[in-house]
Homo-oligomer: A and B are copies of this chain.
């Protein structure tokens, strides 16, 4: 009799976004006239940069065969995203993929079952759910915390800085600029993490999907700007947010040569070799057309267009911050990241605030508690929308709060 992977049954009801979709669908079926604005999921709304569109159309006629990542794209990435910032990352260490979500969950394939895992709380749910599905956790408690995981709270109480764990862990998920809180980490803060990882032989899984939104020139964009990070960190990057590739699909993972893990019997094994094998066997590369589009991100026109896109969304974020603050809400993030993290009004929990905004303002956001127990009492608004929708949504939210 065929057996299923019972770990899936440990998952708490619904991945966050399907649950949101369910509630929005129920509401809009009951209120078909309500003009809903979605500031919930982090999908970009503006068109692809013109440089990317031109490159993709040209690529369709010159269609090549698939490759794990064409050298011309991996070299453009290494030069522009890493070497230009002093990171000694080479094209060989870059694996092009169809999404950071895939990579950050697939990475568990090459890691052992005995690792002690730390995640922030709140956290991007994929890090947790992929561990649950792979059987690397116990059951969830009533607050949605899974046994076997170490949760590192990031809240207003600690300035949205995850504290270094007191005990040893082997695998640490970090995301800066942070989804969902919009918080950032300084070089000094990341240095503490790298030092911890090196001292404990731990591996940092660093998600830099939002690095393009950093405005402060002092902040690091890559973990490899930190001394020693090549020995203890894998980094995930994406074209989804900076260049609007959400519907186009292109991302990359950096696995430095010489980064080691151990077998259960203590033998040292290079992670690059395992990831290369994993991707060769279980993945078949990204569409040639899409890789040509991604390459165009690094042309002078592409760079200017991406910069304009980022500026557009960051102006949205500034509007959201300003308007909600003027309505008396406490707001965080949104200054170096496209997410604004809002404290819900006194006495209203995350899902309560979600339902209130959906029903009274017809605005969809994301309940903070969906990102973890410590996200309770917060709410995430995304800056990825048109200016008109953002202005309209802010007006409606303020009216609902004043009512």
Contacts and interface: CB of A to CB of B under 8 A. Distances in A.
Interface stretch (A110-118, A181-189, A332-340, A357-365): A110-118
B288 A6 contact: no
Contact of A274 (B5, B99, B203, B287): B5
B112 A4 contact: yes
Contacts of A11: 277
Contacts of A277: 8, 11, 15, 133
Contact of A112 (B6, B111, B125): B6
Contacts of A8: 110, 269, 274, 277-278
Nearest to A259: B2
Q: Indicate the size class of the contact surface on chain A.
A: 35 or more
Contacts of A217: none
A87 interface: no
A250 to B, nearest CB: 8
A53, A61, A262, A289: which has the most chain B beta carbons within 10 Å? A289
Interface stretch (A63-71, A76-84, A306-314): A63-71
A73 interface: no
Nearest to A200: B1
Interface string A71-110: 0000000000000000000000000001101100110011
A382 interface: no
Q: State how many copies of this chain the complex holds.
A: 2
B109 A264 contact: no
Interface string A257-290: 0000111110001010010011011111111111
A126 interface: yes
A289 B132 CA distance: 33
B201 A1 contact: yes
A195 interface: no
A18 interface: yes
Contacts of A66: 43, 246-249
15 contacts: A2-B115, A2-B202, A3-B262, A4-B110, A5-B274, A8-B278, A11-B277, A43-B66, A99-B283, A102-B283, A130-B281, A133-B281, A248-B287, A249-B284, A249-B286
Nearest 6 CB-CB pairs, A to B?
A3-B112, A1-B201, A4-B261, A2-B203, A99-B284, A105-B282
Interface of A: 1-6, 8-9, 11, 15, 17-18, 43, 47-48, 53, 56-57, 60-61, 63-66, 98-99, 101-102, 105-106, 109-115, 125-126, 129-130, 133-134, 170-171, 200-203, 246-249, 261-265, 269, 271, 274, 277-278, 280-290
